Amino acid sequence: MTALSGGADRPLVVVLGASGFIGSPLTRALAGRPVRLRLVARRPAPVPDGAVADVEVRTDDLAAPGAIARAVEGADAVFHLVAATESGWRVAEGDAAAERLNVGLVRDLAAAFAATGRQGAQPPVVVFPSTTTHLGAGPGGTVDPDQVKSTYVRQKLLAEHVLAHATSEGVLRGVSLGLPTVFGHGPATTAPDRGVVAAMTRRALAGEPLTVWGDGSVRRDLVYVDDVVDALLAAHDHADLLSGRHWEIGTGTGVTLLSLFTGVSDAVAARTGRPAVPVVTVPPPDHADPADAEDVVVDPAPFHAATGWRPRTTLPDALHRTAEALAS
Confidence of residue 93 (pLDDT cuts 50, 70, 90): low
The mean pLDDT value of the chain amounts to: 87
Confidence of residue 134 (pLDDT cuts 50, 70, 90): low
- pLDDT, mean of residues 29-45: 95
Q: Alpha-carbon distance 194 to 197, whole Å?
A: 8
Q: Alpha-carbon distance 202 to 297, whole Å?
A: 25
* Cβ pair 231, 286 in contact under 8 A: no
Identify which has the larger pLDDT, 67 or 92. Answer: 67
Beta pairing class for 12-16 and 255-256: unpaired
In this predicted structure, the answer to whether residue 139 has a pLDDT above a threshold of 60 is no
27: number of Cβ within 10 Å: 30
pLDDT in tens, 207-258: 999 999 999 999 999 999 999 999 999 999 999 999 999 999 999 999 999 9
DSSP secondary structure string for all residues of 4-59: ----TTSPEEEEETTTSTTHHHHHHHHTTSSSEEEEEESSPPPPPTT--SEEEEEE
CA of residue 83 relative to chain centroid, distance:
9
- pLDDT, mean of residues 128-144: 58
